[in-house]
Amino acid sequence: MPAHRMKNLKRMVSRLREKWLPGCGKSPSAEVLEFGGLTMGTTYGIVLHGLPAGTRIEVLKDAVHGAVHDIDRRMSTHRKDSELSRFNAHRSREPFTVSAGTAEVFRISGRVSEASGGAFDITVGPLVNAWGFGPERFSPVPDDATIAALREKVGWHLVEVRDDNTLVKKHPDLLCDLSAVAKGYGVDKAAEALDQLGADHYLVEVGGELRTKGVNPHGRPWQLAIERPGDGEQQAQVVVGLSGLSLATSGDYRIFRVSDGKRLSHEIDPRSGCPVKDSVASASVIHPSCAWADAYATALMVLGPEEGIAFAEKNRLAAYLIERKATGEFAGRQTKAFGQYSSGG
């Protein structure tokens, strides 16, 4: 695994603990279980308590592990044999059958694309690769002619999802990338696996995307921190208390490239074909479904501070943006719906 990836993983592991801030008052309930592992090029972590009597820990671990790995196997662009990679390699307009889960992620993606006027777009794959954020890294920065040519093969309406779970390409060279939504979907599937085993109180995380149920071990809503951007010590910008909801954050301060002294964000604006301008350092969304929260958070990064907040208000999203000012300082902006969950910021 490349060094920059590994460093990322270490930061992610410490994040779960940092996000699970201790509550005041009550001492934690007796048995708190924490476990995790590696998936989707990042880490996952679970905090659980109040398990039904007789629940075997190994069963819980296997269920979560199975759920997240299943999503990775189906939706990764880094695995040549994933369902998604096979669909990408299928250079034809003939229908391609996928599993119900993959079709569902394509449907969610299409809805968020439509709502955001194409800011969120999973067909952005050729541009993601050209800018060096795909499976093969460190490509040179593309010129205008290359970008213009690639944009011919990008557009969310170029893929059709049919009711029988077949996908149809309207351009044979279409390359889809589910990286902006699959982690959130993996969180949802891990949470559903825990639900089936009778778990009532948990926090699930995959690569910084989170979903909660019940209360934390102190008997309060799970206390989750949205990180203040920066290279140094991790600090909370704002803390939210969630129970039964998900929180997803997209940010340009952890994964980016530098070209001619400028930061290149890994979120691409499909409307220009270029990395988004770095005025939003991070965008966070609270939503019942982590897949939707993940997709919306990416859409807000692309839309930028003004359009992003207007879009989030119009769609009644609980959203929080951290804007990078020209002075280099950071400023938080939140929607009305976000206020009910937050303290600080």
* Interface residues toward Mg ion, by CB under 5 A: 180, 250, 294, 297-298
Q: How far is CA 174 from the centre of its chain?
A: 22
Among 179, 216, 223, 289, binds ligand ADP (CB under 6 A): 179
User: Does 72 participate in binding ligand ADP (rule CB under 6 A)?
Assistant: no
Minimum Å distance from CB 180 to Mg ion?
4
Which residue lies nearer to ligand ADP by CB, 215 or 321?
A: 321
First-to-final CA distance of the chain: 36
Which residue lies nearer to ligand ADP by CB, 252 or 333?
A: 252
Q: At what angle do helices 290-314 and 182-196 cross, to 10 degrees?
A: 120
Minimum Å distance from CB 297 to Mg ion?
5
**Residue 270 interacts with which of Mg ion, ligand ADP, none, CB < 5 to 8 Å by class:** ligand ADP
Which residue lies nearer to ligand ADP by CB, 48 or 245?
A: 245
The CA distances from residue 133 to 47, 238, 247, 264, 274, in Å, are 31, 29, 24, 10, 12
Distance CA 262, CA 272 (A): 17
Which residue stretch of 19-27, 45-53, 92-100, 295-303 sits at the interface with ligand ADP (rule: CB under 6 A)? 295-303
User: Does 270 participate in binding ligand ADP (rule CB under 6 A)?
Assistant: yes
The CA distances from residue 301 to 253, 274, 325, in Å, are 12, 13, 15
Among 43, 88, 102, 250, binds ligand ADP (CB under 6 A): 250
Distance CA 155, CA 69 (A): 29
Residue entry with tokens 């190994």: 58
Near ligand ADP in 190-229, by CB under 6 A? none
Distance CA 198, CA 13 (A): 26
User: Does 332 participate in binding ligand ADP (rule CB under 6 A)?
Assistant: no
Count interface residues toward ligand ADP (CB under 6 A): 20
The CA distances from residue 228 to 28, 110, 232, in Å, are 27, 31, 10
Minimum Å distance from CB 294 to ligand ADP?
5
Distance CA 301, CA 323 (A): 10
Among 267, 281, 290, 312, binds ligand ADP (CB under 6 A): 267
Element (H, E) at 203: strand 201-206
Q: At what angle do helices 100-115 and 290-314 cross, to 10 degrees?
A: 10
**Residue 311 interacts with which of Mg ion, ligand ADP, none, CB < 5 to 8 Å by class:** none
Among 49, 169, 213, 266, binds ligand ADP (CB under 6 A): 266
Q: Please classify residue 11 by burial: count the beta carbons closer than 10 Å to its beta carbon, then call 0-12 exposed, 13-18 middle and 19+ buried.
A: middle
Q: Contact residues for ligand ADP (CB under 6 A)?
A: 120-122, 124, 128, 133, 177, 179-180, 250-251, 255, 266-268, 270, 294, 298, 301-302
